[in-house]
Structure 1
Amino acid sequence: MKNELLIQNYEWQEANYNYLMNALGVVRNALMATNEERKNITPTLSTNNALNTLCNTFGLTDFERNVLLLCAGMELDPNWGFLCANTKTGITQPYPTFMLAIAALPQPHWSAFTPNAPLRRWQLIQIAEGSALNLSPLRIDERVLHYLIGLNDLDPRLQNIVKPVKMPNANNVPSHLQLAKQLATTWTDANKSGELPVIQLCGNEVTSKRAIASTACKLLNLNLHLISAGAITSLRNNEMNDLLRLWEREAILNNSALLLDCDEVDSTEPVKENAIAHLIENISSPLIITSRDRRRSLQRLLINIEVPKPSTTEQRAIWQDALGKAATSLNGHVDILVSHFSLSASTIYTVCSEARGRWGVRGAGRAGEAGGELELEASNSCTDAIRVSTSNSCTDAIRVSSLSTLLWDTCRSQARPRLDELAQPIEIGATWDELVLPEAQRQVLRDITAHVRQRAKVYEQWGFGNKGGRGLGISALFAGASGTGKTMAAEVIAQELRLDLYRIDLSSVVSKYIGETEKNLRRVFDAAETGGAILLFDEADALFGKRSEVKDSHDRHANIEVGYLLQRMESYRGLAILTTNLKASLDQAFLRRIRFIVQFPFPDANQRTEIWQRIFPSQTPTQDLDPSKLAKLNVSGGNIRNIALNAAFLAADAGESVEMKHILQAAKSEYAKLERPLTDAEVKGWI
């Protein structure tokens, strides 16, 4: 059934209302006529009006049409009750009933009142409680009454659950536009042969999936409404069926498709999954599903369409469009943004819109939409601010330009929310000066930084990226005892590159349930891709331990989990760092697939002296501290930090500067925690 578009202008409204009143006049005459006169009453016919459109859409007979009008008259004519009670049929109830309709209206048939007939199936009329079914009051549904008058608003009972989706004004990126056309063609071809298949748009591009669905519906002249899976998961079956019936009627009246948003649903909860499956299997109107992972359908034909992120070329074009004239002044910085951040079209426009507001600029064109520009005020300071250095250093280039820095930081903030839910953000502040390591290890860390910084030039400009995505990810293993500086080294790299750093505890990601570990890892990497964040995987030995003989399906799946993590690390466009305290327990086959391996040694006396010299902030008052004596404490840098911090609290509480006595007391507490004795040789000559 297809609804005709109603042109809701004043002229049409007036003509529609006049036709409805004329049609009510026909029913009025039937109520007043004798049985013989009633045989000659025929309905008035016209094409462009709501009444005939509704009757044709739901397949109403002439008698069912008149029953609907009989109920509508009760709402529109103050004398209608008097007419119902004073017909020549002998029926005296002052309201419409089945008995009155059978007795007073032409061409009656009892089948019009069965539950599966259109009047009741589509809830065009409602039956109030009464002494008998044929004497119960009949009432037209409020949504249907408004439709007949010419007002095609969403049913009030759906307004808190179903929301209209705004149709896109701007075009999708070319690859997504092609997917929208594919969806539209699929439904067009299927409509010729029978039932429309359910279309499932999969992937992490939430806004892109909605844009594709909207564009496809626009191509098909369909309206699009959205329902969240979370809104239906608590409904019982009878409530779900009522909702489906209401929606399917609405879909017919509004010529609409439904977008079921499953992007945030936890597929491990059976109750929610059952509710979603019930809707998918029982809905008959056009349905599009958006989800991060593929869902399966038991009965309905379900077609999956993977929605990838816009390609780097498409992202570059979006940035150029969103920045407008300012893009040419950024001197290649757009390529750096595209290299480090993988953003959707809507996010890129949002970034530029936010930058426009924070920078104090005026936008030429539409903010946040295709065609918008980021134009700077005509001042020397602004001109200087957009001048980007041609230095090879990515970090230097970012810092030279205030606008570039603003865009970079805005990209980072836009990318954070999803990853914040999956991993622990680490506040970065450590610098190279605070990191005490042998020069060989420091050089490897600088090499890692250079690889991340120059990935765009090597992979894109120099063509290495054209040989496939495998092996393009930058991975590193930091091995060493606790407190030797592995996390600090990651902080230094993140600070140098101006990227976010997140810690993922592999021991909590690994699941005993088959398939869940890969799903957890996929969520982390997909979220991190957006912002190019540095991922720090703690306790790598939880997953990368030496493989034993495969004895059952769980052993086999453990190897699959490891392979999946390595594959994602190799294709990840950012930096992934694994840490371990037990390098010897890792499988050598896995180590060969890691690009960088850094061994963090336990600090010797000279390195401990250097750590003690740098451990206290310049604002901390100290007195008579001897770093060479403190270095005799045979502990790691992490323990030194704990001792220094505890000593500072002891001194602050005593109202004194930090002295050797405070450090001695703090060292005793730290050694007790380590379950080690504090020897006389370590503290000799302190006090």
Structure 2
Amino acid sequence: MTLAPDDTDPGAAAQGSAPDPPDDDGARRDLTVAELAVVRAHLTGTDPTPAGRALAALRRGSHATAPLDEIAQGLGLSPFERATLLLACGPELVGAVGRELAERFGSPRATFGTALELLPGAHWDAVTHRGPLRRWHLVRLADPDSVVAGPLVPDERVVHHLVGLDVLDERLELASSPLEASVHLTATPARVVADVVSRRRAGPVLLRGPQPRSARALAAAACLAAGVRPRLLGADVFADAPVPATVRRLVRESVLGRVGWVLDVDDLPVATARVLGPLLTGTTGPVLLVSSNRPDGVAEALGTSVVEVPRLGPGERRDLLTDALGRARVGVAPAEVDRAAGAFDLALPDLGPVAEETARVGLWEACRRRPRADVGTLARVRTTRAGWDELVLPERQLDQLRALAATVRHRARVLDDWGLGARSGRGRGTAALFAGGSGTGKTFAAEVIAHDLDLDLVHVDLSQVVDKYLGETEKRLARLFDAAEDGGMVLLFDEADALFGKRSEVKDSHDRYANVEVGYLLQRLEAFGGLAVLTTNARSALDPAFTRRLAVVVDFPSPDRASRERMWDLSLPAALPRADVSLARLADADLTGGAIAAAALQAAYLAAADGGVVTMDHLGQAVRWELAKTGRVASPVR
């Protein structure tokens, strides 16, 4: 069985070509009934020659493909097995066949025994479980203990196919869904599709890359180029039945339904992959596999041919986005398309919805919205509003932070237009460390940068990311990094020393795995194409290898008196009613920016419960409470 003829043009996938429309159901059914007439002649003891001539004439005059031809060629039936299948299905196709069988053999159902007696070219191995009739579940034995004399029951799906009905196997239809291919492909995706179509002749192919949904779209394009309909399957299809039986069902449906299966193996257990790989390699059926860049060895366990699906450069992203906007008939200035293509690396299936949504919310906002759902519960996606004028830091630190924002804003020009990106095989992104005491503004600075770049801030929830089970932490981190890269998000790891800590001496398996986890983080951080911000109160606790991969390290000092006075001013908005408040006296208390913001908020609540006007008494009480959190005591502020 093959996925496509050897002369299939892989380039057709770039245009999103669909399989040929199915032949006329009536003509296909007529071919089946005409061939059944030849088998009935053997059953009734009449000369089969006239029926054979009528069949030949019908074949010459029909443009339809006989359903039995598809089954025989696709699943390897001999002429005797082909006729046996027709005899078994005869009572379902033509009611008189059941009566004819009953008159001659006393039963309205055919058996292997009746086929061996009646049909020409009989051979015994057609009866065995290894023969295609039983192997592909085209027929089953009503009595498993009576192989030759037991009635043959045809599979319902096979009967539907013989009469020309396009009805998928019920179990596989429930476990799968139609998969759309990209309508337009640029050079890199088109090369991937051509590579897949070429390699699949030797067996299944695994498409692997950082954007699984793009890999699925290209797998679908390869299926269309091969003339089969792509359908997406999850790994749970192997949960309810033995893997070999499920594979046989998949291959059979590939023949009957002209389906190309795209199997998402991201949730496939390694043990199942070891069983599945050899079974798929032993077929040449249209089974394509899709995976992300997971570190758990599923690709190696499958042992199939691997085609890498890379991320696209800004130029190709711009061309695809322009094409999608054109198809949606949405006009956007070229400069705006260039800006969005440089910031957002959307998966191929996102381009169409983004173009449609652009008419309502604008291109930039439409691009921002698409990847947010991919983060799930692993982080909080925040749309920030804080500006540079609200960030109180010494000029040196502010200059560092503005330069950090500039590296993101001008990345496409520097790395692509000016060619500096070609000089390094590392990722295109930037990793920065914000180090300093609690409340000194590290997280707030990340919010300011995200707002300045007009990007979302992904605030990583370490309690949701770190998992006790082997490999789960890496999977969740990979999902976060990929979603952030797709959406141009700023990735924030607060208290990063909990995740990026120093590797330790290996004393047991737990130490070994912890070191592997840190090693994976090092590689993923280096390959990340966006902006990742790590904050820490304990810089010395970080693994030194992380420091070498950081583009920027910003030290956040405790604020001096002048800075504290400005912070108090920013924390007490103009709309807040206040009486005789001295910012200079408030600045005498040695508080960080975070503590000042907390004290201002607490004082406002105190005032709301006490007349509605903030006084120095309210502020002084709030300051004392903030100092008490760190075990300090201050004289009353009045």
Q: TM-score, normalised by structure 2?
A: 0.82
DSSP-derived class of the 2:170 partner: coil
Aligned counterpart in structure 2 of residue 206 of structure 1, from 208, 212, 219: 212
2:557 is aligned with 1:597: no
Alignment of 1:501-650 (within 5 A): 501-504=457-460, 521-542=477-498, 565=521, 569=525, 572-583=528-539, 591=547, 593-650=549-606
Is 1:235 the equivalent of 2:240?
Answer: yes
Bigger Rg over Cα = 1
| Alignment map for 1:477-488 (pairs within 5 Å) | 477-488=433-444
SS at the partner of 1:158? helix
Q: 2:154 aligns with which of 122, 140, 154?
A: 140
- In structure 2, the residue corresponding to 1:579 is in which secondary structure? strand
Q: CA deviation at 1:447?
A: 2.7
- Matched letter for residue 240 of structure 2: L
- 1:291 Cα offset (Å): 0.5
Deviation at 1:504, TM superposition (A): 3.2
User: Contact 1:39–1:106 at 8 Å: present in 2 too?
Assistant: no
Asked if the contact 2:180/2:217 (under 8 Å) is kept, the reply is: no
Distance between the aligned counterparts of 1:576 and 1:103, measured in 2?
75
Matching residue within 96, 99, 102 for 1:85: 102
Given candidates 33, 36, 52, the residue that maps to 1:24 is 36
Shift of 1:637: 1.8
Q: Does 1:68 align with 2:94?
A: no
- Cα distance change on mapping 1:582 and 1:324 into 2, 3 Å: same
- Asked if 1 retains the 8 angstrom alpha-carbon contact of 2:136 and 2:248, the reply is yes
Partner of 2:12: none
CA shift for structure 1 position 74: 1.3
- Alpha-carbon distance, 1:292 to partner: 0.7
Match of 2:421 in 1: 465
- Aligned counterparts of 2:332 and 2:468: Cα–Cα separation in 1: 53
1:312 CA drift (Å): 2.0
Contact 1:608-1:637 at 8 Å conserved across structures: yes
The 3 A distance-change label for structure 1 pair 63 and 655 is same
Equivalent residue runs for 1:631-670 within 5 Å: 631-654=587-610, 656-670=612-626
Instruction: Check conservation: 1:484, 1:603, Cα contact below 8 A.
Output: yes
Q: How far does residue 202 in structure 1 lie from its aligned partner after superposition?
A: 0.8
TM-score by length of 1: 0.77
**Distance (Å, rounded) in 2 between the aligned partners of 1:17 and 1:511:** 57
CA distance in 2, matches of 1:219, 1:452: 38
CA distance in 2: counterparts of 1:6 and 1:491, whole angstroms: 53
How far did residue 642 of structure 1 move? 1.9
Task: Report the Cα distance in structure 2 between the residues aligned to 1:472 and 1:82, rounded to whole angstroms.
Answer: 74
The answer to whether residue 258 in structure 2 is matched with residue 289 in structure 1 is no
Deviation of 1:677 (Å): 4.4
CA distance in 2: counterparts of 1:167 and 1:547, whole angstroms: 44
Contact residue 215 and residue 290 of structure 2 kept, 8 A: yes
341 and 154 in structure 1: CA distance in 2 versus 1, 3 angstrom threshold:
same
- On the 8 A contact 2:354/2:363 being kept in 1, the answer is yes
Tell me if structure 2 keeps the 8 A contact 1:479–1:580: yes
8 Å contact kept, 1:478–1:599: yes
Match of 2:319 in 1: 317
Indicate the residue corresponding to 2:368 in structure 1.
412
8 Å CA contact 1:38, 1:106 repeated in 2: no
Task: Report the CA distance between 1:135 and its aligned residue.
Answer: 5.2
Counterpart among 137, 149, 154 of residue 123 in structure 1 = 137
Compared CA separation, residues 26 and 587, structure 1 to 2 (3 A) = closer
Residue 99 of structure 1: how far off its partner (Å): 4.9
| Alignment partner, residue 246 of structure 1 | 249
User: How many pairs align?
Assistant: 610
Q: Which residue of 1 aligns with 2:175?
A: 161
Deviation at 1:103, TM superposition (A): 5.3
Q: Which letter maps to 1:160?
A: L
1:368 corresponds in structure 2 to none
Instruction: Give CA deviations for 1:469-527 in whole Å, capped at 9, x if unaligned.
Output: 54864333222110111111111121122111123367986778887766655443332
Name which of 222, 225, 232 aligns with 2:231.
Answer: 225
Distance 1:319 1:253 in 2: 37
Cα–Cα, structure 1 residues 640 and 549, in superposed 2: closer, same or farther, change >3 Å? same
CA, structure 1 residues 49+450, in 2 after alignment: closer, same or farther (shift >3 Å)?
Answer: closer
Alpha-carbon separation, structure 2, partners of 1:556 and 1:135: 62
Between stretches 18-27 and 306-315, larger displacement belongs to 18-27
Q: Say if 1:668 and 1:678, in contact at 8 Å, map to a contact too.
A: yes
Which shifted more, 319-328 or 15-24? 319-328
1:559 deviation in Å?
A: 7.4
Counterparts of residues 3-18 of structure 1 (less than 5 Å) = 8-10=22-24, 13-18=25-30
Partners of 1:534 and 1:174 in 2: how far apart? 29
Amino acid across the alignment from 2:278? E
Of 609, 633, 636, the residue aligned with 1:678 is 633
- Indicate if the aligned counterparts of 1:320 and 1:327 stay in contact, CA closer than 8 A: no
* Deviation digits for residues 559-616 of structure 1 (CA, Å, limit 9, x no counterpart): 7766765665555443322222133555777646533332222223332222222213
CA distance in structure 1 between the aligned counterparts of 2:546 and 2:147, rounded to whole angstroms: 76
Alignment-derived partner of residue 342 in structure 2: 339
Counterparts of 2:543 and 2:303, CA distance in 1: 45
Identical-residue share of aligned pairs (%): 40
Amino acid at match of 1:185: S
Q: Secondary structure at the match of 2:433?
A: strand
The answer to which of 112-121 and 304-313 deviates more is: 112-121
Q: Distance in 2 between matches of 1:66 and 1:514?
A: 54
1:490 aligns with 2:421: no
Cα pair distance change 1:497/1:282, threshold 3 Å: same
Q: Deviations over 1:82-130 (max 9, x none)?
A: 333322xxx4334434455455556655554332233222222233359
Structure 2: how far apart are the matches of 1:300 and 1:554?
A: 27
In structure 1, what is the Cα distance between the partners aligned to 2:116 and 2:527? Answer: 72
Is residue 2:357 matched to residue 1:354?
A: yes
Aligned residue number for residue 151 of structure 1: 165
Distance 2:521 2:110 in 1: 69
Q: Which one of 187, 191, 194 corresponds to residue 181 of structure 1?
A: 194
Cα pair distance change 1:605/1:56, threshold 3 Å: closer
| Structure 2: gaps of 5 or more residues | 6-18, 60-64
How far has the Cα of 1:160 moved from its partner? 0.7
Matches of 2:347 and 2:514 in 1, distance apart? 34
Whole-Å separation in 1 of the counterparts to 2:234 and 2:323: 32
Query: Any idea what SS the aligned residue of 1:120 has?
Result: helix
- Matched residues in 2 for 1:6 and 1:506: separation? 51
Deviation at 1:181, TM superposition (A): 1.4
Residues 85, 95 of structure 1: 8 Å contact kept: yes
Contact between 2:207 and 2:290, CA under 8 Å: does it hold in 1? Answer: yes
Instruction: Report the residue type matching 2:196 in the other structure.
Output: L
Query: Is the 1:474–1:573 Cα contact (8 Å) retained in structure 2?
Result: yes
Alpha-carbon RMSD: 3.9
Structure 1: runs of 5+ lacking an equivalent: 191-195, 360-405
Residues 78 and 336 from structure 1, CA distance in 2 versus in 1: closer, same or farther, beyond 3 angstroms? closer
Q: 1:514 to 1:52 in 2, by over 3 A?
A: closer
Partner in structure 1 of residue 8 of structure 2: none
Q: Which moved more, 1:174-183 or 1:511-520?
A: 511-520
What SS is found at the alignment partner of 1:160? helix
